[in-house]
Amino acid sequence: MLFWQILIDGFAISSLYALGATGFALIFGVSGVLNLSHGALMVAAVVAAWAAGAHLHAGPYAGAALGVAIGFSTSLLTYFVIVRPLQHSRKIREEEKEIFILTATLLWGIMIQELIAYLYTNNAKTVAPIVEGVVWIVGVRTPSNEIFTAVVCWLVIGLLWLLVNRTRAGKAVLAASMNPRGVTLLGIELSQVYIAVWAIYGVLVGIAGVLLGMFLGVSSYSVGPLTASAFAIVVLGGLGSVSGALIAAYVVGYLETMTAYLISPAYRTIPALLLVVAVMYVRPRGLLGRR
Amino acid sequence: MSMAAGAHLEVKGLTKRFGGLVAVKEMALSVRAGEILGLIGPNGSGKSTVMKLIMGIERPDAGSVRINGVEVAGWPSHKIARMGAGIVFQHSRPLHRQTVFENIKLALLPDKLTRLFADPEIDERVRAIAARVGLSAVLDRRPATLPFADLRKIEIAKAIARDPQVLLIDEPFAGLTSKDTAAFSELICELRDDGRAVLLVDHNVKSVARLVDRVLAMYVGECIAEGTADEVMRNETVRRVYLGGSIETAARPESSFRDSIAPFLAVENVSVHYGKAQALENVSIHVHAGEFVSVVGLNGAGKTTLFNTVSGFLPYSGDIRREGASLRGLTAATIARNGIVQCPEGRELFTDMTVRENLDLGGHHLSPAECANQIGWLFDLFPILHDRQKQAAGTLSGGEQQMLTIARALMMKPKLLILDEPTLGLAPVILEQLSKALERLRQTSAISVLLGEQNVTFALPHADRVYVLEHARIVWEGEPARFAAEAGTGYL
Amino acid sequence: MRSFSTARVLLFALGVIVLASFLPLGVSGYILGLLTIAYYFGVFAMSWDLLFGFAGEVNFGPTFLIGTGAYAAGILDNLYQLPIWICLVAGALAAVIGGVVLALPALKVRGPYFGLTTLVAVLMLQNFIVVAAGLTGGEIGLVVPDVISVSDTTNYEIALWFMAISGAILFSLSRSPVGLILQASGQDAVQAGALGFNVTKHKLAAFIISAFFSGLAGALMVFYLGTASVGTLVDITVGVQIIIAAVLGGRRTILGAVLGAIFLIAMSEALRPLGDLSNFVVFAIALIVVLLFPNGLLGLLTGTKENI
């Protein structure tokens, strides 16, 4: 019984993680940036969806749409205001740019977190789910919302895969992650590729955030742990490998779920963290890492 | 500071692989005290890797490196340095936040954690060394404010300060004026006369011939000749591999090319700087519509810089015009889209994608029908690509990758195709195939080609006109037939 | 600042410190308390600058070292009521051991991995503190029975002179031959190796020194505040504030870090009327400085325009 519960809950959580981590890995693979404001962008999307419901009395669909829109716009804002100026800055040495971008995105994430806490307090918020009701699977009482979450996540991941592997624009993005110079030589403007990637990332983060809000709820305190689990997953899977991130998302998701059910919810993040530490000692490249 | 009579470097069976590529294969050499050995070879021959292996910056996969009789292969670089080896890198790497004084002082410090105060005599020695190389006037300045030659002097000063018994010098004269080159040569001779064993790496025998006692020539990771400078320059294998065999030409006269308004490509008085070094100095070339132009020059002459400047990757002074219209201010991608497409030296293929996907990306801006058409034409031009179309580009052989690079560029339907050293590291059999493909292009299409090569035998049969680029300047221009007579002999 | 000799800078700084030590004569206890915290913060920031500015390693979790030192000292006091100075020594030692444990895997990896390793360390420490609540007081925090003193002035002077001595040692180190080797190791490890320096050994030493001062300062803070908690000493936001202080003040100057710390605390205080928004504004200002003035305050003051 417990086994099935863990299996089902774990699957839903892992799917959510997979969606978020895919976005995180995409940004790193193409733009070369480890976006430490990832969690903040997700929470911003959720809070927008919640605010739409609480203040504007919008329905769940409208709220979700607003959430995704906010995810999209804050992602582009992050690129144009923080990441791009630093990448093009003449005042910073090339070798130091990575560090500055890491620090700036971290700062930006904390800023968003503080703003959310100020405007809406740090109480947990949930978003009205699009799908309500309960189903029974193998004798386990499961909210339909959970199934909905897993389905949507995989739908989006599938769409993304189609986009990247089957469309011209997508292939250009994939090529840019392998060899930016090669892409320029073929007459494709890298600057447009980057904008496209951050836009896609924004949508991914918006959807993941809204789904999380419907499933478990978030608060401004979730910002840190969300970013932490995204980069733990991406490090585990191997920086630069999206398929690695997908697998790692399930490893981490199930580890967390099992810990929460079998030991205690308070300790849920620990085994995953220990695993990341072990991987960094033993195989810093991660499971399928390229870089 | 006296030299032990036995200062000695001995290398046997040195091998290094990077993935599937064998960079260095069973290298053996030996340098005695008071001797300068020149290690020469073109780009990609492995000579810089040999230096890094000796110095411990890379770990060898096999082989032995003995310094003064002690086996050091596989040791970390700091231990090898303390054993008495020193290296002068090809590119100056001073500490930018420190003054010249501090940069030299660093080389004199012992590897101890507990030194909170330096020996006062160290400061004295810094000044003495600075005086010896000619840096006394700039001791308190930071490297960013100094000219190129001074930065090289800092590198030599560091080497002198380390007082190594075995000294490795990588391309010492690159970017220097003849006056500075003479001064450096003298310094290196003094170091040799102190009793050190000196290993000098360069790509050009001519520039080091007067300096070295013996020469060892490398090609694709292996030693192909050894002896005095004269002997090596006259060696058959060396001449064939570096220069190619006999030269045939088939040039079309310049007057036969019709441009619409102005030459298709006009590069006028272009100068480019890499930091302090002058990579191009007042270079002017032009290419007519439909013409095949060869730019011939050795490594470091400036070919790649010239091509990257035309393609829009580098800032420059001067003018670059395409059919009369200036290219200044256009992004590199725009220049490529408008018909000037480059096949760079590094190929820049999408290694994890298939051959077909690489080609499709080249046809990014074409309609699917046009794209399929182009691919069909290219498979005809390069049949091997058709056979390998589902293979990942990274698994192709060197020659096949080069063909794919050219094919991918041709997918863009360029008006001007720039080829940067397409024959680098390729076996002669592949060169045949490439040559045939270029010939077909020349005969069946109206494309213009700008070909940069150090392999003169490959380049000349495909050229209507030739430029020679040497040390950032164009030193000769004319028809290929005259090249062999006038410029070719002095070439190696 | 480069052009002034170490001795002259130290002398000038000593003058400023002596002046500062007279502040209790005319300044309220509240402000003295703020400055006390600022001075300890200054030591956190200086230690961070040694590691980043010199060894070239970005530590995203300086609070791992601080927290280890602070909690070790506090827990010992709680459990065994040992004299304060023993707890302080033990705290510093614990931080050093923590630093070595962190350094060994961290130094094996390059670039972003190093920063991530340090972040993970902080998260682990945070989780451990929460899980072992019986020992550490968990999320509520640890209360220690002893404090160094109840007098504002005494606490202020201790913090001031501790910062002065730490600063003198760290600054002299940065200007010494060892500092030069560290700078080389950070800027160009390949060159440093080719010049005969064991880069790993030197970076490890930098780690240990940074850990020692961070841990000791953390322990002193515990015995000043009388409490230790995740929110004040371990949280990532605290770590970020330390980094901001060092970057604001000017990377690679050591002394600039103190300026940055004082500036940050003063700014937080000045923005207090904004209530909960003050944090947001502080971080926003910090972000603007990072984006527009990467060379920090000291860079602005000394007119440094070049890439440092």
- Rounded distance, CA C94 to CA C125, Å? 13
Length of chain A: 291
| Confidence band of C304 (pLDDT split at 50, 70, 90) | low
> How do residues B306-318 score in pLDDT, each as one tens digit?
999 999 999 999 9
Q: Do A186 and B361 touch (CB under 8 A)?
A: yes
Enclosing H/E stretch for B465? strand B465-470
Interface of C with B in 202-231 (CB under 8 A): 202, 205
> What does the pLDDT read at residue C308?
41
Structure tokens at B197: 């064993």
Residue among A102, A107, A277 whose CB faces C283 most closely: A107
- Rounded distance, CA B162 to CA B189, Å? 17
| Confidence band of C1 (pLDDT split at 50, 70, 90) | very low
Mutation to test the A interface, candidates B96, B311, B364, B366, most A Cβ within 10 Å: B364
> What does the pLDDT read at residue B431?
81
Mean pLDDT, chain C, integer: 85
Q: Do C178 and B113 touch (CB under 8 A)?
A: yes
Sequence-ordered list of residues with C-beta below 8 angstroms from that of C299, at least 6 positions apart, any chain: C250, C293, C308
Q: Tell how strand B214-219 and strand B222-227 pair up.
A: antiparallel
* Contact predicate B273/B305, CB 8 Å: no
Q: Do B142 and C202 touch (CB under 8 A)?
A: no
Residue among B334, B349, B365 whose CB faces A182 most closely: B349
Place of tokens 């979450």: A149
- Rounded distance, CA B476 to CA B295, Å? 10
Enclosing H/E stretch for B355? helix B355-362
Q: Do B81 and C196 touch (CB under 8 A)?
A: yes
* Contact predicate C147/C156, CB 8 Å: no
> What does the pLDDT read at residue B30?
92
* Contact predicate B381/B345, CB 8 Å: no
Query: Which residues is B218 bridged to in the sheet?
Result: B223
Q: How far is CA A222 from CA A28, A225, A229, in A?
A: 22, 6, 11
Structure tokens at C262: 């004082």
DSSP state of B253: P
> What does the pLDDT read at residue C307?
45
Structure tokens at B78: 């700091």
Q: Do C181 and B106 touch (CB under 8 A)?
A: yes
- Rounded distance, CA B157 to CA B356, Å? 53
Closest by CA position to B252, among listed B436, B453, B448 = B448
Residue among B78, B105, B106 whose CB faces C193 most closely: B78
> What does the pLDDT read at residue C306?
46
Q: Which pLDDT tens digits describe chain B residue by residue (492 residues)?
A: 444 456 789 999 999 988 767 889 899 999 999 999 999 887 677 888 999 999 999 999 999 999 988 999 999 999 999 999 999 998 888 988 889 999 999 999 988 877 777 788 899 999 999 999 989 999 999 888 888 888 999 999 999 999 999 999 998 887 777 788 888 889 899 988 988 999 999 877 777 888 899 999 888 888 888 988 888 888 877 777 666 556 677 778 777 787 777 889 999 999 998 777 788 889 999 999 889 999 988 766 789 999 999 999 999 999 999 998 999 999 999 999 999 999 998 889 998 889 999 999 998 888 889 999 999 999 988 888 898 889 888 888 888 899 999 999 999 999 999 999 898 777 777 888 888 888 888 888 889 999 998 878 788 888 899 998 887 888 889 888 887 666 655 454
- Rounded distance, CA A142 to CA A7, Å? 11
Sequence-ordered list of residues with C-beta below 8 angstroms from that of C171, at least 6 positions apart, any chain: C6, C9, C10, C13, C254, C255
Q: Do A107 and C240 touch (CB under 8 A)?
A: yes
* Contact predicate B145/B135, CB 8 Å: no
What number of CA atoms fall less than 13 Å from residue B357's CA on the CB side? 24
> What does the pLDDT read at residue B254?
79
Q: Count CB-CB contacts under 10 A for residue A40.
A: 30
pTM value > 0.90: no
Q: Do A118 and C277 touch (CB under 8 A)?
A: yes
> What does the pLDDT read at residue C231?
83
Closest-CA residue of B relative to A179 is B350
| Confidence band of C3 (pLDDT split at 50, 70, 90) | low
Which subunits have 3 or more CB–CB pairs within 8 Å of chain B? Answer: A, C
CB contacts, 8 Å: C172 with chain B? 116
Residue among B331, B364, B409 whose CB faces A168 most closely: B364
Instruction: Give the 3-state DSSP-derived string for chain C, with helices as H, strands as E and coil as C.
Output: CCCCCHHHHHHHHHHHHHHHCCHHHCCCHHHHHHHHHHHHHHHHHHHHHHHHHHCCCCCCCHHHHHHHHHHHHHHHHHHHCCCHHHHHHHHHHHHHHHHHHHHHHHCCCCCHHHHHHHHHHHHHHHHHHHHCHHHHCCCCCEECCCCCCCCHHHHHHHHHHHHHHHHHHHHHHHHCHHHHHHHHHHHCHHHHHHCCCCHHHHHHHHHHHHHHHHHHHHHHHHHHHCEECHHHHCCHHHHHHHHHHHHHHCCCCCHHHHHHHHHHHHHHHHCHHHCCHHHHHHHHHHHHHHHHCCCHHHHHHCCCCCCC
Q: Which amino acid is it at B297?
A: G
- State the complex-level ipTM: 0.82
CB contact, 8 Å: C161 with chain A? no
Q: Which pLDDT tens digits describe chain A residue by residue (291 residues)?
A: 788 888 888 999 999 999 999 999 889 888 888 899 999 999 999 999 988 888 888 788 888 899 999 999 999 999 999 999 999 888 777 777 887 888 899 889 989 998 988 888 878 888 878 778 888 877 778 888 888 889 999 999 999 989 988 888 889 998 998 888 999 999 999 999 999 999 999 999 999 999 998 888 888 888 888 888 888 888 888 777 778 889 999 999 999 889 888 888 777 777 887 888 787 777 766 666 654
* Contact predicate B20/B47, CB 8 Å: no
How many CB pairs below 8 Å do chains B and C form together?
Answer: 83
- Rounded distance, CA B268 to CA B181, Å? 28
Q: Which residues of A have a CB under 8 Å from any CB of B?
A: 168, 171-172, 174-175, 178-179, 181-190
**CATH architecture designation of domain A2-282:** Orthogonal Bundle (1.10)
The residue ranges of every structural domain in chain A are 2-282
Mutation to test the A interface, candidates B304, B310, B353, B371, most A Cβ within 10 Å: B353
User: Shortest Cα distance from A183 to chain B (angstroms)?
Assistant: 8
> What does the pLDDT read at residue B3?
46
> What does the pLDDT read at residue C243?
87
- Rounded distance, CA C257 to CA C251, Å? 8
Q: Count CB-CB contacts under 10 A for residue A1.
A: 8
> What does the pLDDT read at residue A290?
53
Query: Which residues is B200 bridged to in the sheet?
Result: B38, B169
